[in-house]
Amino acid sequence: MNHELIKNILCELGEAVCQKVHQSLRQSSVEALSAIYKEGEDDTIYQIDRDVEEILIPRLTTYAPPLGGIVLIAEGVNEMVLPVGMPSDQAQIRLIIDPIDGTRGIMYDKRSAFFLAGAAPNKGSETCLQDIEVAVMTELPTSRSFLSDTIWAIKNKGAFAFTRDLKTSEIVSRNISPSKARTIVGGFSQIARFFPPGRALLAHLDDELIQILAPNMPAGKAILFEDQYISSGGQLYEVLMGHDRFIADLRPLLYNRLAREGKTIGLVCHPYDVAAHLIGSEAGIIITNELSEPLNPKLDVTSPVGFMLFANEHIQQQVQPVLRELLIKNNLLTT
């Protein structure tokens, strides 16, 4: 794999998506952008997602030959081979993309979404997240913001970032600085619970966690804060930039319990939502799945994915053992 070429192509693609989304936000109504285009196997596809697909496929078709062929796995697309007609086993690269991660926030012009992409050598259907060697994420800001961060990583070579001014196209370097705090107390930390059902159980779990970690919490004080960012890429970004110290998405465990109880389950994270998590690993963030194992789902569009992000080893050592016991206690995890 030509890592530098792939990185440059993915950065260019992310910025093209950014420009398209920013233009759509300024020119189209909320009602138009939030209209449902179709119900996909993996998630609901909105009109704003469809608008981006129209630039994604043509550009990747152009990029595919110099890269030796691409097996594209993407939300809304599922899986396709480029150039069209090439046998999938002959393509050199397996590319997983979420063109807009955080659609629900950006289509209402509430908060930045992210373009996420990860490229791995094509190992067929067994290709997994840990096979990714190049990852890029590009911020898709709201209509009222004109600054967009692009962050990338090449395996074993670190993570880097720059900020582009969408008005002037000026680029300045951006520091990546995960928190060095040794505790979640006094910072932002949360268990994701932005979709029903089961939010009450996740909130109870979150409260139990802080009661154990900070048993002498003074009355009338806020010792911990939370930010329910409806974007897996956005959650990663917040930890990368030192804003959040710990985030867990435990929905697969929650929905397994609800299913056992004969109850309705909800939407989960999928592999394309964590396509850029190589960036976190290269930046020193500790990333595991919901079972505290290496995060390594197969690169598809349907597998359920849970994850935990720890800003550093101290946060992991403080939180992970306690959280594991609470998961067992609440019948979310079996020993």
Angle between helices 199-213 and 313-329 (to 10 degrees): 120
Burial class (CB in 10 A: 0-12, 13-18, 19+), 265: middle
Give the pLDDT band of residue 24 (cuts 50, 70, 90): confident
Please give the Cα distance from 301 to 137 (Å, whole number). 18
Q: Residue 45 in 3-state DSSP?
A: strand
Contact 206, 214 (CB under 8 A): no
For the chain, the residue count is: 335
Residue 37 confidence (pLDDT): 58
| Higher-pLDDT residue of 285, 25 | 285
Domain ranges of the chain: 3-173, 188-329
Mean pLDDT for 103-120 is 94
In 47-145, the DSSP E strands lie at 70-74, 78-82, 93-101, 113-121, 134-140
Domain 3-173: homologous superfamily in CATH: Fructose-1,6-Bisphosphatase, subunit A, domain 1 (3.30.540.10)
Confirm whether 3-173 and 188-329 share one CATH topology: no
164: Cβ contacts below 8 Å, ≥ 6 apart: 15, 18, 147, 148, 149, 150, 170, 171
CATH number given to 188-329 = 3.40.190.80
Residues 52, 55, 56, 62, Cα dihedral to 10°: 180
Nearest to 135 by CA among 162, 182, 96: 96
Q: Over range 124-148, report the average pLDDT.
A: 96
pLDDT at 41: 61
| Residues 255-304 pLDDT 10s | 999 999 999 999 999 999 999 999 999 999 999 999 999 999 999 999 99
Output phi, psi for 31, to 5 deg.
Answer: -60, -40
Q: Measured between alpha carbons, how far is 11 from 14 in angstroms, rounded to an integer?
A: 5
- CA 86 to CA 81: how far, in whole Å? 7
Q: Locate all alpha helices (DSSP H) within 68-102, ordered by sequence.
A: none
Closest listed residue to residue 275, CA positions, set 121, 132, 109? 132
What's the mean pLDDT in 48-64?
85
Is residue 95 within 8 Å of residue 322, measured between CB atoms? no
Using a pLDDT cut of 70, give the percent of the chain over it.
Answer: 96
pLDDT digits (tens, 9 = 90+) for 67-99: 999 999 998 788 999 999 999 999 999 999 999
Report the alpha-carbon distance of residue 99 to residue 88 in Å, rounded.
22
pLDDT at 67: 93
CA distances from 317 to 235, 310, 312, 334 (A): 20, 9, 9, 21
